Amino acid sequence: MVRVAFTANLRRHLDVPTVEVMGETVHAALAAVFAQNPSLRGYILDDQGALRRHVSIFVGGEQIRDRERQSDALSDGAELYIMQALSGG
Amino acid sequence: MHTQTSTAWVATRKGLFRLDRPARGATRHDSPWAISQVSFLAENLSIVLPEKAARGGAIFAALDTGHFGPKLSCSTDGGKTWEARTAPAFPRRPQDAPPELDPNGRPLPLSVQRIWSLESGSEPGELWCGTIPGGLFHSRDGGTSWDFVQSLWDHPGRKQWFGGGADYPGIHSICVDPRDGNHVRIGVSCGGVWRTRDRGKTWDVCATGMRAEFMPPERQRDPYIQDPHCMVQCAAQPGMLWAQHHNGIFRSTDDAESWHELVAPPGAPATFGFAAAVHPRDPQTAWFVPAQKDEHRLPVAGQVVVTRTRDGGASFQTLRSGLPQEHAYDIVYRHALSVDEGGDSLLFGSTTGSLWSSDDQGDHFHLISAHLPPIYCVRF
């Protein structure tokens, strides 16, 4: 199982409690999250399935590398934190 | 005397405001409009579409949530409650396909960045939506699902579009012919004017006569790169169109077959601007909000004015009663000027959050608020 938590800024738009899902990659974990909450997908991924330009995913404190396909591997017990990339002032 | 519209909507950088006409004497200042409701406070609204009562009166609001992408919401109770609809999205590109490059050689992102135009079609539940980058989308179920208009995207001329003020081109104006829903004209910055007569199956560019002085001489008349900022049609005579173009004001009297530029029309302090509105029954009467041209984008001499023609652009009146005439730096964006169905009432709002109304076709204006967030769209 991996744990997926969301920035509080997203809670302005959607109910996004922290969830535990199965997934050996970030992509698989996201797919499991979206299966539970389909409307969440468009907030995290763009039309082509890439991570939105101003959204970041941290795994164990490091940003994922494959923003296009989210192929980064996950180990059991990993913690994903989905946040907005801060920009502007 | 035509009935005044009693409700209007103002989409801003920080929320959607509903306006209603209070009963006479109900407010201290006897304002013709009062802000009666705020929805999506703190959210960036890119466009609002209040559908006509005859179509059910739903309100569609497009949000640009920034980090989290564009969203679409709908209210069927006058804005009291909202429910999410599907935001239009580009189809997935085959994984092995190379990205398309725009005319500047940059990869064109196939992901909707902003919902920039939204109009009712002629059938129940039918909507058209234009986006940045320049995608056109069509819904037949009130925004529950969207079809990407592939035929326009695949037109070779579409590949010549490029971004003007935005990084990528966008579709900002959609004129659905009230007599024939198969007949739709769109305005693109920068990509000219396009027309379909078969509800989007086939498209033709129709920007002949438009002129882009800022382009190299050999491309100034190129229809594919014209920058109409806003295009509007006369509801009663839809073949009569007006365009506030980057280069000035253009008019078509033949359903966009050809365009005629109004060069230095008498009475107008400038012909640069973004917004345009045309009287719903009299195609000779139209309104614009001029600005000092493109490198400045400020009201001429710090004075907010509206220009009005009643003779098809042969001459203009500069309307300034009730508008600030010194140190005013309000710019009015392309969707932020609107005339109601009756043809007498106007609303316009500015980048600095000022909102004005008129009930006499612009002879006199009334300040509704000077403290709203930056205004992107006003609609009755």
B259, two tokens: 């365009």
Residue B4 has a pLDDT of 78
- Contact of B90 with chain A, judged by CB distance below 8 Å, is answered with yes
What φ, ψ does residue B303 adopt, rounded to 5°?
Answer: -115, 125
DSSP assignment string, B222-287: -GGG--EEEEEE-SSSTT-EEEEETTEEEEESSTTSS-EEE-S-TT-S--EEEEEEE-SS-TT-EE
* Domains, chain A: 2-84 (3.10.20.30)
- Nearest residue on chain B to A14, alpha-carbon basis: B84
Residue B104 has a pLDDT of 83
Contact of B41 with B31, CB cutoff 8 Å: no
Q: How far is C-alpha B185 from the geometric centre of its chain's CA atoms?
A: 13
CA proximity to A3, closest of A12, A17, A39, A46: A17
**Residue B43 has what DSSP assignment?**
S
A-chain residues within 8 Å CB-CB of B133?
A: none
- Nearest residue on chain A to B88, alpha-carbon basis: A47
B269, two tokens: 């302090």
Q: What is the pLDDT of residues A46-83, one digit of tens each?
A: 999 999 999 999 999 899 999 999 999 999 999 999 99
B-chain residues within 8 Å CB-CB of A44?
A: 68
Q: What is the pLDDT of residues B317-371, one digit of tens each?
A: 999 999 999 999 999 999 999 999 999 999 999 999 999 999 999 999 999 999 9
What is the b/e burial string over B203-225, where b = at least 16 CB atoms within 10 angstroms of the residue's CB?
Answer: bebbbebbbbeebeeeeeebbbb
- Nearest residue on chain B to A40, alpha-carbon basis: B68
What is the b/e burial string over B21-41, where b = at least 16 CB atoms within 10 angstroms of the residue's CB?
Answer: beeeeeeeeebbbeeeeebbe
Contact of B170 with B129, CB cutoff 8 Å: no
Give me the count of residues in chain A: 89
What is the C-alpha separation between A52 and B65, in angstroms, rounded?
Answer: 12
Is residue A89 very low, low, confident or very high in pLDDT (cuts 50, 70, 90)? very low
Report the residue from B68, B71, B112 with minimal CB separation from A47: B112
Range from A24-33, A64-73, B264-273 carrying the lowest mean pLDDT: B264-273
What φ, ψ does residue B151 adopt, rounded to 5°?
Answer: -60, -40
Range from B97-106, B118-127, B280-289, B337-346 carrying the lowest mean pLDDT: B97-106
CA dist B218 → B190, B207, B215, B225, B259 (Å): 17, 16, 8, 12, 19
Q: What is the pLDDT of residues B115-152, one digit of tens each?
A: 999 999 999 999 999 999 999 999 999 999 999 999 99
One-letter identity of residue B361: Q
**Residue B380 has what DSSP assignment?**
-
